[in-house]
Chain A
Amino acid sequence: MALMPDLLAQFLQMALVLALAPLLTGFVRKLKGRLLRRRGPPVLQPYRDLLRLLRKEVVLAENASWLFRAAPYLIFATTWVAAALVPTFATGLLYSWSADLIAIIALLGSARFLLALAGMDVGTSFGGIGSSREVMIASLAEPAMLLIAFTVALVAGSTQLSTVAAFMGSPEVGLRVSLGMAAIALVMVAIAENARIPVDNPATHLELTMVHEAMVLEYSGRHLAMIEFASHLKLLLYVSLIACLFVPWGLAPHGAGPAAFAAGAAAWIGKLAAGGTLLAVFETAIAKMRVFRVPEFLGAALMLGLLATLLMFVSRSL
């Protein structure tokens, strides 16, 4: 194995996810604006927002502990590492041999755990509400996500994403009911995890309805920038993950040349655009659900994941 090119590809991927994550969010926002007959914010606005936040002074609550200050960096770091593990334009990246789908779920789970703690740290009522709702959502989203991972692993024989992607791209997959169920479940989990409508509203100003935003209400300046950046990364991660698992075409194989990498990158950007468009259209067409409907929504995802796994035991070909 040639170490240098592998390392280079890995770093390229890490830089790319960082560079493109705000763009995806900006794209979705712009598209939503256009769908609402508005002009919409500029696509590059999320970059400007991050820059603005980085330059701003941090205002901390008097009783904020070290955890409150450390959490944004940890959240950003874990999310970034998780995003670096998902094959975006090429499979067989250097780091991806050391961590699999379950590690990605665990990394995202740690980020959420830290955010929920930070939400409660200052002791405001909104932070507490946000954390409690977030954990309620997580208690169903995470098992559903694990079941999806099991299904995929049972089909592909591995939890390692590069291997899974390679298998999914091969003709031997065929049409499988289990994979269909897992795909639907993954989309549902992705919506909940990214605090999108109908589970949460990323654009709301209503303190009482917030989930994710309520936890970060007390953050400002560079801390908020880190958390915002982590949310951008998370959205990109989930779209990439769905693309890598269920539409793996165009991924550059391990050890391919620059031309294949470029083709892979173009395919990836196309998939991101498609994912972003679907998200914007879906969010425009639906209202937010009641907080207590969220468990039903995620319960459905959990059941789909469970059924998909069970079906694998009934028949290997389903």
Chain B
Amino acid sequence: MSEMRTPVPDAPSLGELLAAGRAVPGHRPWPRAVVDVDDWGLAAECLTQGSVTLLGLWGEAEAVHMALLDEPAAAIGVLSLSCPEGRFPSVGELHAPAIRLERAIQDLFGLEATGLPDARPWLDHGRWGFRRPLGNAERAAGAAPPYPFLPVEGEHLHRIPVGPVHAGIIEPGHFRFTASGETIVRLEQRLGYVHKGIEGLMTGADLARGAELAGRVSGDSAVACALAFARAAEAALQVEAPRRAQWLRALMAELERLANHFGDIGAICNDAAFSLMHAHCGVLREQVLRAADRSFGHRLMRDVVVPGGVAHDLEPQGAAAIAAMIAEARRRFPPLVELYDNTASLQDRTVGTGILRPALARRFGAGGFIGRASGRGFDARRAMGYPPYDELEFLVPGLEAGDVDARVWIRIREVEQSLGLVEQILARLPGGPVREEIATAHAVHEGMALVEGFRGDVLAWLRFDASGRIERCHLRDPSWFQWPLLEAAIEGNIVADFPLCNKSFNCSYSGHDL
């Protein structure tokens, strides 16, 4: 993959790109504009120059949408291109991060991305029984077509197919390694094994059903996905969740982050056969989950965040349970950090392994610990400043090294910040109602939201039809831009280090395959 080109001084800004098109009324909170083919291409050009970052690219039956982020200005805009002919100019042709998104659009909607350098199917493995399920669906005939992996040439190269079923209890994904001895020359991923058709289920669902579906996109990000959906729905319907609900949502989001980061820190060390960290971090994770269970009635806090607020208030004993857990974590975590830092054999494995260069992280708009370990400090909590984070004090840690060690350290620092955030929230939790009733709207509304999950920024975009049902909802997991980076980061490493790198990325299969 080539380095980012230097920005051209006269590259149009996000505002100019939006102004060039026809603004769509009723799209909140950020503007959406319908553009023509030329401006669509211009936007792709801007992406390659790095003046804007790709946040999402998704389809509809006869249109494609592209969400762009202007990082310095923290501005977001959506460009739409209607494609009645069933094709649109490929963004992936110029800007690699869009390739898989466009392959998914081709699979789901049958819209052709002209010029797409890699036109192989992505989510569709030929086993759904029909093609283009969200577009002009038709029954698929015959057996699944073979999937050609990228060709590799050279002497002494051998291929190692791994998965989709693995020896451990993890999600399915296929990894095709080409190695020269132990050194990885190329890794090619194949995903889509856990495609659940969530976007298809969303179409025609009512608000409550949509919120349930969103919470089931990725089990470990139940809060983040539900929150993104709820905020997008609230934006579309111009409802604001009560203040207490917003604080409770942040409390849940931070608990989710804590649980996952504890789990990840331990699991990364365990992949280097250092099970001591795994055991101790596992205890911490379990304590977070139990506190969540006692506070919100569900270990993963599923179905608690709903459009309009939260389903129910904090249980009476919840605040005490969380406070006790935080105190315990504050006591137990620092010695573990010291253990990580002082175990030379562990450091030998993590330092310098799986380096992701900052330029690539920027280009792909990598969020979460992956981006922040490679110099991209974007955090939706800080950049978008959605409530209550605008009132809370926290730091966004950042490192430049981009190796496994850096990703562990970002997690450690984020755990510390989240502990502080939970303490602040508990101390200043406002009173009042926790849910605003949402009346069914009878007009077309569009809304979107960007929230920070533990992996990175989750994007939600939806449109209600005139009957108040969901016409189209797209949830973009941060993993879409992180999975391809794993392919890049692993190059030149040894085969035996892949599990370590993979765990340090910890991308979602379920959230990606949707």
| Residue of B whose beta carbon sits closest to that of A33 | B279
Q: How far is the CB of A287 from chain B (nearest CB, A)?
A: 4
Which residues of B have CB within 8 Å of A290? 348-349, 494, 496-497
A residues in contact with B278, CB < 8 Å: 36
CB-based contact B168/A206 at 8 Å: yes
CB of B499 within 8 A of CB of A206, answer yes
CA distance A285 to B344 in the complex (A): 10
Chain B neighbourhood of A203, CB < 8 A: 273, 275
- What residues of chain B lie closer than 8 Å to A291, measured between beta carbons? 182, 494, 496
Give the interface segment out of B32-40, B157-165, B441-449, B454-462: B157-165
Cβ distance B266 to chain A, nearest Cβ, rounded Å: 11
How many angstroms between the C-alpha atoms of A68 and B145 in the bound complex? 34
Chain A, range 269-292, C-beta contacts under 8 Å to B: 284-292
Encode B487-512 as 1/0 by CB contact (under 8 A) with A.
00000001111110000000000000
Q: Are B159 and A292 in contact (CB under 8 A)?
A: no
B273 touches A204 (CB 8 A): yes
The answer on a CB contact under 8 Å between A198 and B345 is: yes
Q: Determine if A38 and B494 form an interchain contact, defined as CB atoms under 8 angstroms apart.
A: no
B166 within 8 A of A: yes
Q: Are B271 and A285 in contact (CB under 8 A)?
A: no
| Contact between A292 and B494, CB atoms less than 8 A apart | yes
Interface residues on A, range: 20 to 34
> Does residue B274 face the partner (Cβ distance < 8 Å to A)?
yes
Q: Mark A281-312, 1 if CB is under 8 A from B, else 0.
A: 00011111111110000000000000000000
A284-B275, A291-B496 are contacts. A208–B345 as well, Cβ < 8 Å?
no
Residues on B with C-beta less than 8 A from A128 are: 158
Say yes or no for A13: interface residue by CB 8 A criterion: no
Instruction: Judge whether A208 and B499 touch: CB under 8 Å.
Output: yes
Q: Are B272 and A287 neighbours in the complex by a CB distance under 8 Å?
A: yes
Contact B279 A38 (CB under 8 A): yes
Query: Which residues of chain B have C-beta atoms less than 8 A from A316's C-beta?
Result: none
Q: Which residue of chain A is the closest to B181 with respect to CB atoms?
A: A132
List residues 279-304 of chain B with CB under 8 A from any CB of chain A: 279-280, 283
Binary CB contact string for chain A from 35 to 61 against chain B (1 if under 8 A, 0 otherwise): 111100000000000000000000000
A291-B494, A292-B494 known; A285+B276 contact, CB < 8 A = yes
A198 contacts across to B, CB distance below 8 A: 273, 345
A286 to chain B: closest residue by CB: B345
User: In the assembled complex, which residues on chain B have CB atoms less than 8 Å from the CB atom of A32?
Assistant: 275
Q: Which residues of B contact A285 (CB under 8 A)?
A: 276, 343
> Are the C-beta atoms of A125 and B159 separated by less than 8 Å?
yes
A206 neighbours in B (Cβ, 8 Å): 167-168, 271, 499
A293 and B348 contact, CB distance less than 8 A: yes
Contact partner of A207 (CB less than 8 A), chosen from B159, B162, B345, B346, is: B162
Query: With a CB–CB cut-off of 8 A, which chain A residues contact B168?
Result: 205-206
A36 to B339 Cα, complex, angstroms: 14
Chain B residues closer than 8 Å to A217, beta-carbon distance: 167
Docked complex Cα distance between A293 and B494 (Å): 12
A194 at the interface (CB under 8 A from B): no
Query: In the complex, what's the smallest C-beta–C-beta distance from B57 to chain A, in angstroms?
Result: 32
Closest approach, in angstroms, between the C-beta of A148 and any C-beta of chain B? 24
- Any B CB within 8 A of the CB of A147: no
Centre residue among B272, B283, B494 by max chain A CB count within 10 A: B272
Supplied contacts A36-B276, A37-B280, 8 more A-B pairs, CB within 8 Å: A205-B166, A206-B168, A207-B162, A207-B166, A208-B498, A287-B274, A289-B349, A293-B348
Binding site for A on B (CB under 8 A): 158-162, 166-168, 182, 269, 271-276, 278-280, 283, 343, 345-346, 348-349, 494-499
Seen from chain A, the residues whose Cβ lies within 8 Å of a Cβ on chain B are: 32, 35-38, 125-126, 128-129, 197-198, 201, 203-209, 217, 284-293
Ranked nearest first, the 6 interchain pairs of A and B with the lowest CB-CB distance are: A288-B273, A36-B279, A205-B168, A287-B274, A287-B346, A201-B273
Contact sample, A vs B, 28 pairs, CB 8 Å cutoff: A32-B275, A36-B275, A128-B158, A129-B495, A197-B273, A203-B273, A205-B166, A205-B167, A205-B168, A206-B167, A206-B168, A206-B271, A206-B499, A207-B162, A207-B166, A209-B273, A209-B496, A285-B276, A285-B343, A287-B269, A287-B274, A287-B345, A289-B348, A290-B496, A290-B497, A291-B182, A291-B494, A293-B348
